[in-house]
Structure 1
């Protein structure tokens, strides 16, 4: 199934972003900011402003970064990150880490990788959740939320895909062509029926990414109002729910 980048109103609801529109039946929906920290921060600010009170944000600062944090599953305030399939043959087997040891909380001093870093930048934000080059990693959200936002650093060096329930978004859908090291984006996911597990797949056994400032929340307005409220600067990618 091809993604839909609808550039004109067609029995749909305008998202208010660069002419992009989508019908209210589309779920889940994914938005990605333009590349760069400024664009990513603006997208996060917009996203948070649209959520009901009571949303949760995990910045990983309460964890001790380094080898002692590495685990097959790391439980956080927003959900659990689990290594489903380990990578191999890369920097994940260095500096005391092991590729099959799970995901980890890293900082600049402990990271064996280039191009991944804490976001947004600031003296009070040093840690991030790293995939440790997992070929497959699942984020199981805390139940009861229909919207998710997070920073991702160094994605799509060699491609991959993301599944949300039964829906798949390829990294080409999201980011376009393969990227060099050090890019940062802010991604938002929304499903009016509630978000299930989000699973990340890498196309290579030695490629990964960092994730930071993960927010789960609820968009208060149903249907078209929810879609209008989630308009972010960037690209909208829509998948129709399978029958």
Structure 2
């Protein structure tokens, strides 16, 4: 059973009241700059109270590389759990084993990864696994993701796996951009990103954390229908 169907099954098995605390809700924009920026605007408008964004512009030099990179604004930390093993991440002064890197177009050894609204971004440096550990006290996170073209990759969130092939599509070309957002009423935990193709990776930009009010029960009823539709659409697309 694929990931999209797993999420639908979880929704179908839960009451509206238990759904709020049991299932993280992952939302992915359509591919493209316009769709991604519109999704970011919608996400930001849904947040209330303290909102923190890390653009990787201030406090970092292009080319900075480390196993763990901490947000200078307090968004959280980003860790290369399993580094890349070869390819462009070993180019020039870079080493795959040295972890994640803050890159710019002038310092990047990769094609297809780029900043969205700032000159720098955080690059996975082809890590097979990286983890985002958001600051506690928030229930939502959103970020741009460029070049997630490893269709066998996945997100792992709160014990649920979300396959890149299911959520981004099975035919991903270099240079694509999406906006990814996650809501978890129980509070944000670690978000792990796995890239299962050797020498493949992605860039992250404008990582934002904040909180939204728990949606009304009717919203969760619509959510169940929406996830069901997503599962059906992905099944049709795979035939």
Task: Give TM-score, length-normalised by structure 2.
Answer: 0.82
Deviation digits for residues 16-57 of structure 1 (CA, Å, limit 9, x no counterpart): xxxxxxx65761111100000100000000011011121111
| C-alpha distance in 2 between matches for 1:25 and 1:195 | 11
What SS class does the counterpart of residue 87 from structure 1 fall into? Answer: coil
Seen in structure 2, the aligned counterparts of structure 1 residues 174 and 215 have a Cα distance that, compared at 3 Å, is same
Q: Out of 13, 30, 47, which is 1:34 matched to?
A: 30
What SS class does the counterpart of residue 189 from structure 2 fall into? Answer: coil
Seen in structure 2, the aligned counterparts of structure 1 residues 110 and 63 have a Cα distance that, compared at 3 Å, is farther
Number of the residue aligned with 1:50: 46
Number of the residue aligned with 1:70: 65
What SS class does the counterpart of residue 96 from structure 1 fall into? Answer: coil
1:143 aligns with 2:143: no
1:183 aligns with 2:176: yes
**Kept in 1: contact 2:20–2:214 (CA 8 A):** no
Deviation digits for residues 164-196 of structure 1 (CA, Å, limit 9, x no counterpart): 121111111210113110000000111111121
Seen in structure 2, the aligned counterparts of structure 1 residues 236 and 83 have a Cα distance that, compared at 3 Å, is farther
| C-alpha distance in 1 between matches for 2:154 and 2:230 | 13
What SS class does the counterpart of residue 53 from structure 1 fall into? Answer: strand
| C-alpha distance in 2 between matches for 1:192 and 1:25 | 5
Q: Out of 213, 219, 242, which is 2:212 matched to?
A: 219
Q: Out of 87, 99, 104, which is 1:102 matched to?
A: 99
Deviation digits for residues 113-138 of structure 1 (CA, Å, limit 9, x no counterpart): 00000013xxxx10100000000100
Q: Out of 119, 122, 131, which is 1:129 matched to?
A: 122
**Kept in 1: contact 2:100–2:125 (CA 8 A):** yes
Query: Which structure shows the bigger proportion of residues in helix conformation?
Result: 2
Runs of 4+ in 1 over 4 A off after TM superposition: 10-13, 23-26, 225-228, 235-238
Task: Give TM-score, length-normalised by structure 1.
Answer: 0.81
Number of the residue aligned with 1:157: 150
Larger relative contact order (CA 8 Å, sep ≥ 6)? 1
How many residue pairs match? The answer is: 220
Seen in structure 2, the aligned counterparts of structure 1 residues 145 and 164 have a Cα distance that, compared at 3 Å, is same
Q: Deviation of residue 223 (structure 1)?
A: 5.2
**Kept in 2: contact 1:132–1:208 (CA 8 A):** yes
Q: Deviation of residue 220 (structure 1)?
A: 2.0
Seen in structure 2, the aligned counterparts of structure 1 residues 71 and 203 have a Cα distance that, compared at 3 Å, is same
Greater Cα offset, 215-224 or 40-49: 215-224
Q: Out of 149, 163, 172, which is 1:170 matched to?
A: 163
| C-alpha distance in 1 between matches for 2:199 and 2:62 | 19
Q: Deviation of residue 74 (structure 1)?
A: 0.3
**Kept in 2: contact 1:149–1:214 (CA 8 A):** yes
